[in-house]
Homo-oligomer: A and B are copies of this chain.
Amino acid sequence: MQNETVVKTNPFGFGDPNVAYAQYFQGQSFLNGLVTPAGLVDFSISNVSFEPGCRNHWHIHHDGYQILLVTAGEGWYQAANHPAQLLHAGDVVVIKAGIKHWHGATKDSWFAHLAITKGTSEWLDPVSDAEYAQLPARN
């Protein structure tokens, strides 16, 4: 599996098992909170790490947005009815409210991104093994 060291030693922190959101992920993810709303800002910033093959369910952000800043490894972002986009460190994804999407690692690589998130999330169906298996091979 690729990029394990670079993800686990990410300067923005590997964090703890993402227990609170585990029900909305397939596979194991890890969460390191950096900034939380506290009167100053109306969004949170966290570094989220995914083991190979881990991805979150299709979901929609309401009354806000999510910005992904990829910090390490290799992963996917897919909006509904669009092809999946392969992501590497430094890539930026801006996700507007109302867009059904998912993100996660490739099957062969660890993956980590900062997430700047405002608003609430509506969680939908998992990305099925069949959908995920159809993504282009990376190795």
Q: List residues of A whose CB falls within 8 A of some B CB.
A: 10-13, 34-35, 40-41, 45, 65, 67, 69-71, 88-90, 92, 94, 96, 114, 116
Contacts and interface: CB of A to CB of B under 8 A. Distances in A.
Contact of A40 (B10, B11, B65, B70): B65
B45 A90 contact: no
A11 B67 contact: no
A35 B96 contact: no
A85 to B, nearest CB: 16
B69 A41 contact: no
Contacts of A116: 116
A40 B67 CA distance: 11
Contacts of A11: 70-71, 88-90
Nearest to A39: B96
21 contacts: A10-B90, A11-B71, A11-B88, A11-B89, A11-B90, A12-B90, A13-B90, A34-B92, A35-B67, A35-B92, A35-B94, A40-B65, A40-B94, A40-B96, A41-B65, A41-B67, A41-B94, A45-B67, A45-B69, A45-B92, A116-B116
Contacts of A45: 67, 69, 92
